[in-house]
Structures are given as structure tokens and as C-alpha cells.
Structure 1
Amino acid sequence: MFVDVAKIYVKAGDGGHGCVSFRREKYVPFGGPDGGDGGRGGDVIFKVDPNMRTLLDFKYQKKYEAQRGENGGTNNKFGKDGEDLIIKVPAGTVIKDAESGRIMADLVDEGQEFVVCKGGRGGRGNSRFATPTRQAPNFAEPGMPGEERWVTLELKLLADVGLIGFPNVGKSTILSMVTGAKPKIANYHFTTLTPNLGVVDMQGIKSFVLADIPGLIEGAHEGVGLGIDFLRHVERTKVLIHVIDASGIEGRDPIDDFYKINEELKLYSEKLSKKPQVVVANKCDIPGSEENVKRLREELSKHGIEVFEVSAATNKGLKEVMFYVSNMLDNIVEEKEDYEVYVPEEKRFTYTIRRDDDGSYVIEGSFVDRLLLSVNIYDSESLKYFHKALEKRGIIEELKKMGIQDGDLVRMNDFEFEFVE
């Protein structure tokens, strides 16, 4: 099964918690703090695997989490860092932030890596909080949470040349004739349901990768037929071989077909419509095709587009097309795909202060959550650190500006205390 789009949840490992511990040794009745730091959480990393061809693996597994860091230990033992989670993807995978739709990374080279979520930092153990005036801190830091997000993976085939055109014009037959690929071929529309790749390797021709893109129809850029699902696979190609049925046996006009397909390319992407094209007038072994080929050449000469007369069924004219396209590739300067890189917002521990109906002051937010996890409210040294943290963050000053008075109640989650100047 060919899967080229997937949406998954990824989460880096949380940092391990710092340890609260004191030396307990013989002949050392009042040992100092020796709690170690927690380990760092593992990152989530996407890595290109040359053996993968689709995003099928992500159809069955949607959730990926890296290992959390171990908690710190006694005797100043640091917790072990969590292992990074490496997620393998095929070359050509574009990683997007699912919420904003912005591109985070475009992985095209073998072994290329991208850290999509960074692991949380480990919390500091109580030995880190010892000072000349605070010799027995009975508190430690909790580990920082790892980053998490939903991401969308899109696979865009890495092909030098793309075969485009209406359904049933002979694209798959051409691919099978000039490469070792064996696509499913039958005489009805949408035989090809997935893109197929092959390597053109003919004598006297510099080899290149050729992709058969499933047939486009009017409205493809809006999702009609199979169009929008596979138009993305044309985006990376350098040259387009536009296959047209010159016989007209299905009642369509070849010139009209040319303009309709190019209109779909333009509506999907202006850049795509400007890619160099070669037109292949196929099914020229069918009587009556000569007049259509003549008309095509006259019309497309206005655009400087070369028209080749071929018969994919008998292999007539295909080598000439491939030779011409190979020379075109040599003269094309590859442009690096330009896109606005997604920059994640810097996560900060924040808080808000509001006045409740009962007159108390309520302080909420991620800063409060983290601070309360660090504090042992039953320990005097820990409470001193708590007050200093509020003062350093500017919360005490902000409460004063809001008019707080001695004896007013302050509530932080489940913890309440009376304000004293």
C-alpha cells in the first residue's frame, strides 16, 4: 500500500526529577545534602532511511514518545539521560507542524536528521541549593517537560522527470518500456492509483529517475479524481513529460488536453506550471493520429515546446525522447526549494494574578505549577526559597501594586497563605 500523508503525535522525554537526600554515614551524624540531578529526557528525531518508500508505518502507529530521564539519586548520583527516539522516514518527507501547517523540515538526503521535539532538562538535586545560609535544603527541582506536538508528514517523490497527462494516455506503458518498473497496466481510467518510479538506464543516455504520476483531470487542484493527492509528487521534478493521446479515440482534442492539464498545474502551483515540458504525442500507430500531431506541433511551437511522435505499445520513438530529456536535465540549474521555516515559540513559565470574588488573590499558571512541585511547604528552608522565588519573579511587587494588604489571602492551586509584608 502506498501511503504519502500521515499525521502523528510526537513527545520528547520529560527530564528526571532532582533528588532530596542527605549523607548518612557512620561518624557523620549531620551530613550535608547529596541529592543528585535528574537526567535529560530523550529527543524525538526524524531520520531518512533509504530503504523506506512510503509512510505506511505511520498508518498503524500514531503516537511516538521518547524515554524520560531517570531521577537523581543519593550520593550526588545523576539520573541517566533518556534515550533519543529515532523515527525513520523515506527520502522526500516534508515535516509540518499540524497546528499551523508550517514546514519544519524537508528531508531529502540519505541519513539526514531533524530534531522535531527536544527532551526536557533534568531537575537539580537538593545539593545544588545548598548555600552558607541554607545548609540543609529539603527540596529539589522537578524535571522539565519534554516538547510535544502533532506533526503532518508528506512524502514527495524524488524524481528527476515526471510523466503527466490525462488518464489512459499511456504513461504507465512508457514507464514500463524505458525502465525496469512494472506498473499495473490496463485499458481503463485510473489503472494507476499510486505513483510509480523507475530509473531510465539506456545505452548512450545518462540515467535519471522517472515517475509516473496518476492521471490528472479537470478540478484536480481541488481534489477531483486522484489529482490533489499526487500533484505534490510533481513538485520536485525538474522536467515534465506531458503525454497526450494523439489518436483522439476517446473523443478528446489533444490541444485542448494540453491546455487543460497545464491549467490544473497552474492552479495548484504557479511554480509547477513553469517547469520545462516535453510533449509526447502517444498512440501514433493508430490511424488518424497524423493530423493531430501536425496540429499539436503548430500550436506548441508558439510556446517553444518540442513534440515527439511515439508509440509506447511498439516502443517507437521513446529512446529519442529519453535522450532529449537527459540533455535537458544537464542544462537545468537546480533551484533549492524555498519555504518559510517553522520556528516554534519559546516556551516560558508564565503566571497570571486575579482577584477572586471572596477578595483573595489567585496566582495561576505554569510557573506556579513548577514552583509548587519544587517546594516542601512543611520545611522552613524550603519556604524561604519559595518566598525568594516569588520575589525574584516580581510577583510580590505585582501584588503590592494591586493593593494587597497584610493578612490578605493568596491562593496558588491548592496552597494558601496569608500575605505579610
Structure 2
Amino acid sequence: MKFLDEAKVYIRSGDGGAGAVSFRREKFIEFGGPDGGDGGRGGDVWIEAVNGLNTLIDFRYQQHFKASIGVHGMGRNRTGANGASVTMKVPVGTQIFEEDKETLIVDLVSEGQRFRLAAGGNGGFGNAHFKSSTNQAPNWANPGLPGEEKTIWLRLKLIADAGLVGLPNAGKSTFLATCTRARPKIANYPFTTLHPNLGVATVDGREFIIADIPGLIEGAHEGVGLGDRFLGHVERTRVLLHLVSAQEEDVAGAYRTVKHELEAYGEGLADKPEIVALSQIDILDEDERRQKVAALADACGKTPLQLSAVVGLGMTEALRALRDVIAETSRDGTAD
């Protein structure tokens, strides 16, 4: 399935049905009079967050959502039926914006959350509604009110507990594939990952979701490489796992490059709890490993973890470190 995290959609709620102008005429009935019924209400346009979706690809093929109009009123005081509503189903974590792409309408962060985007128009009153002691034969009725129409933007921000960040080929996809059942593309060239991937990791009986995003390079916040458009998918995470490849000649510089891009992006990413790890350590001898661990520790101000997803070194320790931070932030009630 293709990944799509932004979509433009046109919506329109249903118009209300018109009221009816009708008069009762029956043989042997002494009193006639107006009996036009009211029109039905137009259908609404709703949006709902559902489980089992992680992309907006459906909205590439269907971009117009229109609810049904209300049925017109009829004689014999018959009220028209209400129009059928339309419900757009989106992944949990979807934000809905006005056409300007800046005004947030609603943020759907939990399964089953619903929001009415456009209300249907009310049905018009039939002439029976206007009968009074001074006007016993009104010959007019109200038209139904029009529905609402607008263009909206859907923007998906995946909901995960932990996010993987780093330069291209830092081993993020291999890490995800090793500790979860996700199967991201893995190859020995930059930008193998072209869209975010999700996986569920388990350690000591505790499950949590990990998001892997395409690698960042210097100038990503200015659109270099794949840019920073995918960083929105780690905005909601509780902790970041920053992987620095042991293949880098300057591991400290590699760390600072990604850190700078996180700070330039903003949205609190640079302030999130961060676990730093030197990955792909199976390619180093003992002396090289000590040197690069020391250089990375000086750059990040803490002792980095050491791991290799290919041979399974340090994976359990990394997952436990992520689990502990997630559990701590859950107790504190802090989440973005």
C-alpha cells in the first residue's frame, strides 16, 4: 500500500428539503385546510478516526464527499425524510485544516473520535406550519436551507511511542525490522526509506510502537534531500532514538547535523527525551569502537548505547531504555 500523509478534499453537506404547499380536500369532510408537510433535514459530513489505517491513500482516489439532500415535504402533513450523512474514515492522528492549511479544525488523536465538518441544512416549513386563527389558508412554504461546502486539508501525523532519527543509512530500518514485524526496504544506499514505517516492539512483555522516518541530511529544514516533511510523524512520540552509524568518520559531526535539523524544525522535537546509540558496531574493532564512543559521548553529553541490529548486539538494552522512558513519561502524563 502506498503511503500518503496529506490530501485535499472537497466536502458538501446536504440541502434541506422544501416545505410543501397543500390543502386538504375530501368529500364529506366539513373542514379542509392546509396540510403541507415540512422538508427533511440535509445530511451531515462527518469525519472519524478508525483503527487499521496508517495512510491517507484512499483520498487520492476519492476527493469529493457530498451528503444527500433532504426530501421535500408532501401533502397530508407528510414530513420529508432526512438526507443520508457521509462519514470519512481516517487514520488515528489525522489533523484537519481549513483551505489555508494553517487553521486547525480538529485533531483526531483517539480511535472512534468523530467530528462534524459540515452540518446539513434544515428542512423548510410546510404551509400547515403557518396556519393561524387569522390566516387559515396560507399558500406559501419555506424552502430548505442550503448545506455547507468547503475545501479542507487532511494531514496525517502517525502516533507512535518512540521515533527513530538519524542520517541516511544509520541503520534505522534494520533496527525496526529486527525488533518488530515491520518489513521496511533495506539497502546499502542513501534514502532507502522514502516514507515512514511503523512497527510494534516487545521487550519484557511490554509492547510499544516505533516509527522510522526517512533520514535527515544537512539542510533538510530548507528542503535538501527529502526535507523535513516527515518529521511531523515523530512529533507525538514520547522518546527519540538517535542512531549514529559507526561507518561515519566523524560521528560527533553526524550527531550534530541531525540535532541541528531537529532544532531548526521546532515543534519541541529538540526537547524530547533522547537516547543516543552508536549503531553498526559490528564493523569496528575494539580501538575504533572506543574512540567513536568517546567522540559521540562528548558531542551528546551522555554515554551512548552500542548496538548492531544485524548481529543482535545491544538490541535488548536499547529497547529497555526506550521502554523505561515511555513508562516514565506515561506516569508523568507528558505526551506531545
* TM-score of the two chains, using structure 2 as the length reference: 0.94
Contact 1:205/1:322 (CA < 8 Å) preserved in 2?
A: no
Shift in Å at residue 71 of structure 1?
Answer: 0.5
The 1:336–1:254 alpha-carbon spacing in structure 2 relative to 1, beyond 3 Å, is closer
Q: Residue 241 in 1 paired to residue 241 in 2?
A: yes
Which residue of structure 2 lines up, in the alignment, with residue 84 of structure 1? 85
Which residue of structure 1 lines up, in the alignment, with residue 4 of structure 2? 3
Shift in Å at residue 160 of structure 1?
Answer: 0.2
Which residue of structure 1 lines up, in the alignment, with residue 220 of structure 2? 220
Q: 3-state DSSP class of the match of 2:42?
A: coil
Which residue of structure 1 lines up, in the alignment, with residue 232 of structure 2? 232
Looking at structure 1, the residues matched to 59 and 112 of structure 2 have their Cα atoms a distance apart, in angstroms, of 19
Which residue of structure 2 lines up, in the alignment, with residue 268 of structure 1? 265
Q: Residue 69 in 1 paired to residue 70 in 2?
A: yes
Which residue of structure 2 lines up, in the alignment, with residue 292 of structure 1? 292
Which residue of structure 1 lines up, in the alignment, with residue 316 of structure 2? 319
Contact 2:19/2:36 (CA < 8 Å) preserved in 1?
A: yes
Shift in Å at residue 313 of structure 1?
Answer: 1.8
* TM-score of the two chains, using structure 1 as the length reference: 0.75
Contact 1:205/1:323 (CA < 8 Å) preserved in 2?
A: no
Looking at structure 2, the residues matched to 270 and 281 of structure 1 have their Cα atoms a distance apart, in angstroms, of 26
Which residue of structure 1 lines up, in the alignment, with residue 39 of structure 2? 38
Q: Which amino acid aligns with 1:234?
A: V
Contact 2:72/2:80 (CA < 8 Å) preserved in 1?
A: yes
Contact 1:15/1:145 (CA < 8 Å) preserved in 2?
A: yes
Q: 3-state DSSP class of the match of 2:38?
A: coil
Looking at structure 2, the residues matched to 335 and 82 of structure 1 have their Cα atoms a distance apart, in angstroms, of 43
Looking at structure 1, the residues matched to 222 and 127 of structure 2 have their Cα atoms a distance apart, in angstroms, of 60
Which residue of structure 1 lines up, in the alignment, with residue 57 of structure 2? 56
Q: Which has the higher contact order (CA 8 A, sep 6+)?
A: 2
The 1:9–1:128 alpha-carbon spacing in structure 2 relative to 1, beyond 3 Å, is same
Shift in Å at residue 270 of structure 1?
Answer: 4.3
Q: 3-state DSSP class of the match of 1:201?
A: strand
Structure 2 counterparts to residues 20-419 of structure 1, below 5 A: 20-28=21-29, 31-99=32-100, 101-202=102-203, 204=204, 206-248=206-248, 251=249, 253-287=250-284, 288-301=288-301, 305-332=302-329, 333-335=332-334
Q: Which amino acid aligns with 1:214?
A: P
Contact 2:236/2:335 (CA < 8 Å) preserved in 1?
A: no
| Two-structure CA RMSD over aligned residues (Å) | 1.6
Contact 2:164/2:212 (CA < 8 Å) preserved in 1?
A: yes
The 1:113–1:179 alpha-carbon spacing in structure 2 relative to 1, beyond 3 Å, is same
The 1:238–1:20 alpha-carbon spacing in structure 2 relative to 1, beyond 3 Å, is same
Q: Which amino acid aligns with 2:293?
A: V
Identity among equivalent positions (%) equals 47
Looking at structure 1, the residues matched to 79 and 22 of structure 2 have their Cα atoms a distance apart, in angstroms, of 12
Contact 1:161/1:240 (CA < 8 Å) preserved in 2?
A: yes
Q: Which amino acid aligns with 1:325?
A: L
Contact 2:256/2:299 (CA < 8 Å) preserved in 1?
A: no
Looking at structure 1, the residues matched to 322 and 335 of structure 2 have their Cα atoms a distance apart, in angstroms, of 21
The 1:189–1:281 alpha-carbon spacing in structure 2 relative to 1, beyond 3 Å, is same
Contact 2:97/2:153 (CA < 8 Å) preserved in 1?
A: yes
Q: 3-state DSSP class of the match of 2:282?
A: coil
The 1:59–1:306 alpha-carbon spacing in structure 2 relative to 1, beyond 3 Å, is farther
Looking at structure 2, the residues matched to 267 and 185 of structure 1 have their Cα atoms a distance apart, in angstroms, of 28
Looking at structure 2, the residues matched to 336 and 163 of structure 1 have their Cα atoms a distance apart, in angstroms, of 17
Runs in 1 of length 4+ with deviation above 6 angstroms? none
The 1:306–1:189 alpha-carbon spacing in structure 2 relative to 1, beyond 3 Å, is same
Deviations 1:39-62 (A, max 9, x none): 011111111221222111100111
Shift in Å at residue 227 of structure 1?
Answer: 2.9
Looking at structure 2, the residues matched to 103 and 298 of structure 1 have their Cα atoms a distance apart, in angstroms, of 41
Shift in Å at residue 321 of structure 1?
Answer: 0.8
Shift in Å at residue 179 of structure 1?
Answer: 1.0
Structure 2 unaligned segments of length 5 or more: list them: none
Looking at structure 2, the residues matched to 275 and 154 of structure 1 have their Cα atoms a distance apart, in angstroms, of 22
Q: 3-state DSSP class of the match of 1:163?
A: strand
Looking at structure 1, the residues matched to 262 and 44 of structure 2 have their Cα atoms a distance apart, in angstroms, of 39
Q: Which has the larger radius of gyration?
A: 1
Shift in Å at residue 205 of structure 1?
Answer: 5.1
Q: Count residues in correspondence.
A: 330
Structure 1 unaligned segments of length 5 or more: list them: 338-421
